[in-house]
Structure 1
Amino acid sequence: MTIQRIDRPNLLDSLANSLNTANVCTQLNILGTFYALIKMFCTLQLPAKRKQFYEKAPLLFNYLFELCQRTLQVESPRFKIHAVEDAFPTFLLEVFNHFLARGQELRIIKTILKAFIQLRTLQVESPNFDLLHLCLKCICKLYIQGFKNHAVDDAFPTFLLEVFNHFLARGQELRIIKTIFKAFIQLETTDPCFFSESPPCMTLVQVLYDYIRERTISSTQEIEKLIILKTFVLFRGLLEFLKMNHSENDISKERMNLAKERIQNYFDETKATSICEILITRYFVCTEEECQGIMNEPEEYISQEEADNWQFNSKVCSSFVFQELVNKYRNVVCPMIANLFYQTINLPLVSENEIDQKCAVYDAINFCAADLCELIDFDQALRT
């Protein structure tokens, strides 16, 4: 019924005002209705209907953004003070150790122990993650598709990055991280120029680069798997944009050239070489699951790699990123690959790790063998 009455002028206003209720269940129901409305708005193609969407989007966005921020700020003020005054527990511990070593001043030791016990048992109200997740889904969709000019509210990517870093550091709420990732990838796809202009967006790229340097494709945690995969999807999208012609879209030539320059400045020769080495040593290595798949159903495994579902396969997606970087920076990437080849060619195959490393280097060579002929004597290397 709500969707059928979407053209009534006061419907969205009354729904938005209803979000001020303190009842979380009611808020969730309203947000569910909002999300259905927003999804329907996004499918509208007629100019008049799209205009209606653009007119309503700022109102909805402001209401939902405010609710999202309130949901994240429900933590106790005392909890925020504790985070700021982290030096005080350190001081207490030093005093405690001082008197404990001397066996003196029981009253001081009792006071310090009481403080630590109270700190441990302090109840801190936490955000309602169901409400936060649904709210994020709504405002991300509104921001990506409801604004012609994303620069009108550059604060939103900053907010998204802060929320992403918050949950990334805690390894919590896979669904929220997934929603934020989806928003950044859609923003990079629909408006790559703004993505390159936005400091929080490019900061995210650096955060993800640092993240994949410390992980491997064998990561077992679902959050790590998701972040690794989406990092490669995002990187590939940025590298693909560098090949885009001005005639393929309605972006001004000057703005596109500036955007490409910013992305190229990030993916410079040093960064490209580093990423390629990370991919070879950490993400081209076969996992135990992949080895089982190759041994049990080799044809099915190959067909899965060749299927057009690279966005859901970390190994395939990482190989695309690798090929893009090799094609653009072969003069610096190929010597690094040759160096890795000579480092691994004589490795004793005494453990699975050595075998996996050698196979990973061979996989990398497979993508650029023609460019390595002058750097690697394949005939001599294969003889030995």
Structure 2
Amino acid sequence: MTDRAAADPVAALAAFLDLYPTAGGGIGIAVSGGSDSMALLHAAALLARQRSLPLTAATVDHRLRAGSDAEARQVGAVCTGLGVGHAILPWADAPGHGNLQQAARQARRRLLSAWALREGVSLVLLGHTADDVAETVLLRLARGSGVDGLARMRAWWMADGVAWGRPFLDLPRAGLRRWLADRGKTWIDDPSNDDLRHDRARARRLMEALAPLGLTRERLCRTAGHMARAREVLEAAAIGRAQTDLRIEQGDVLLSPRCLHLQADETAGRLLRAALEWIGGSGKPRWEALLRAAALVQRGRRAALGGCTLLPEPWGAAPGGVRVTREMRAVAGLSVPVRSDGPMIWDRWTIVPPEASPTGDLRVAALGPAGLAQLASVPRNLPAVSLMASPAIWTGDCLVAAPLAGGSRGWSCTPASPFPLPVGS
């Protein structure tokens, strides 16, 4: 498709839903107000009427620039005009330092996941386009990424108890804008998209310069497709290895010694990365960082990477294995108020209250050293570092329940998403 031609987002969305039907729940649209997500919203509204599909939308207000709240309300007004429910999800705990863009991505997923579970949404749709695929390939090339980094972003996946979909990966942004303009629809241009301080803005500028050399969006997307097929072959090999070299123990992942031999074994790195992504939720770690962490564990030392702690631990009778658990520092400030009308998401856990509705000012937060000190007895089923990063229910400074630490009191917690590979017992 050329940039001059209008895309057909309705047909693309219809084909996507035929391939990935919802599991009985509603469809949710993540709408920022930009052209990609607005095209998705309008296309979904048309298709929902044709197919009698329950549809709702949400806008994450990152509160990172002036006027973001007004833009979120503007999106809400468009949704109202389409007869689509809309929620504004404010990001209230933005960090004052560190990688703000990565923190914003994690917050978006966390806020949208919780919203989807509250609203009974089984599939959340995102407006990523072919331009996003090409830009990502360029950025990953600059970082020296391997097969997974260069592979086309997934069209469908499960995370945090919710299905996620990207129906527009074959459509160019310019085509979606033409489709909107032809129908008199508007969108909001985020000025940060042209701010060359951001990697993605620089990637867009670089694509324009490289096009005369033949490195076009279409060819970058083609490369991403080839890498996605290679990824499938490697993932199949990892599935076989996970049956013998990986175990899950109350949310921790235990790996055999050979999973630390990364230089000689591509599958080993794939299993270790899968554990880090599932527990830490912060995306794929850089290869160099992965090598450093594995080397530390092989020398009998702890390592921290991607919001996880890696602990040396025997694999059966053999020394040299590794336990991957959540890093306490990553969840130290995370607190979620307890709701009496259903489950809650805290970090990577789904928390279910007891049948008797909880009362009082309760919150879910990490057990931490203070909670560990309040336990009648410290269980030996998990290391202290794992227990401290596990979910607990609090009222003020008093521990109410610790589901993974032997003090459930009717509360239960399970991983919000299954491990991405089938594992042995």
More helix per residue: 1 or 2?
A: 1
Name which one, 1 or 2, has greater alpha-carbon Rg. 1
Q: Given the two structures, how large is their TM-score scaled by the length of structure 2? A: 0.23
